Amino acid sequence: MKILEKYILLFIIGLSPFFLTSCASKQHHLAVDASIISKGQTKAQVTDLVGKPDYITETENGEEQWYYYNDITPFYKKIPLFGRLFGKGKMEVIQVTFYRDRVSKVIYYVAEK
């Protein structure tokens, strides 16, 4: 085997654990969570269904908005220096709006990071 071929083989073998661990990570999709939240549910019910929010804010008209985030950027876009060559990352977001402790609106969207 030529020296270059040995280095290429070692490089591929060295990267294989990264590919395997990326496949083994827990997959969580907020689209499914957003589909089980419905108008009229209480904050306690939403917390029981999808957990505590990642961020909470209040609006001027007395509404409370809860945000849930999930990074769905592929692993190759997270590689330092080279990842940006593949474009921007993406993030799933659920925005749950409460008015008087009840869900008034649920929005699911995917945003660029």
Q: Torsion angle, CA of 70/44/38/89, rounded to 10 degrees?
A: -10
- Domain borders along the chain are 28-112
pLDDT value, residue 24: 45
pLDDT value, residue 100: 93
pLDDT value, residue 57: 97
**Predicted TM-score of the model (pTM):** 0.69
pLDDT value, residue 89: 81
pLDDT value, residue 85: 76
Give 10-residue mean pLDDT values along the chain (113 residues).
64 59 58 94 96 96 96 80 76 96 96 85
Fold of 28-112: Beta-lactamase Inhibitory Protein; Chain:B, domain 1 (3.30.1450)
Nearest in space to 69 (alpha carbons), one of 48, 47, 52: 52
For the chain, report the end-to-end CA distance as a whole number of angstroms: 44
User: What count of residues does the chain have?
Assistant: 113
pLDDT value, residue 25: 47
Q: What is the DSSP string of the chain?
A: --HHHHHHHHHHHHHHHHHHHHHHSPP--HHHHHHH--TT-BHHHHHHHH-S-SEEEE-TTS-EEEEEEEE---GGGGSTTTGGGG---EEEEEEEEEETTEEEEEEEEEEE-
